[in-house]
Amino acid sequence: MNPVKDLSFQFAIAVIETTRNIQKNHRDITISKQLLRSGTSVGALYTLNLRQISYINQRSHRKSVMQPAIG
């Protein structure tokens, strides 16, 4: 597996557990919601970056395949 993916998943789980504990014990909903959004955005950004890299690779591959036909 990918170590960055694994670590970001473990981090998201830890953030979710922490926000549950904050809501249960301290009843501070505002901070826990912000922590949840911020903590889980790491995985979302990782996924977005993978999609962008895949798109760039596909475009460069198409360009290299089409270049001999054009020139």
pTM attached to this predicted model: 0.56
Average pLDDT in the chain? 77
> How far is Cα 23 from Cα 70, in angstroms, rounded to an integer?
61
Q: What is the pLDDT of residues 29-60, one digit of tens each?
A: 888 888 888 887 777 777 777 777 777 777 66
The residue behind tokens 């054009």 is: 70
Query: What is the rounded (10 degree) CA torsion for 38, 16, 21, 29?
Result: 40
pLDDT in the model for residue 49: 76
Supply the range of the domain harboring residue 34.
3-70
Q: How many structural domains does the chain have? A: 1
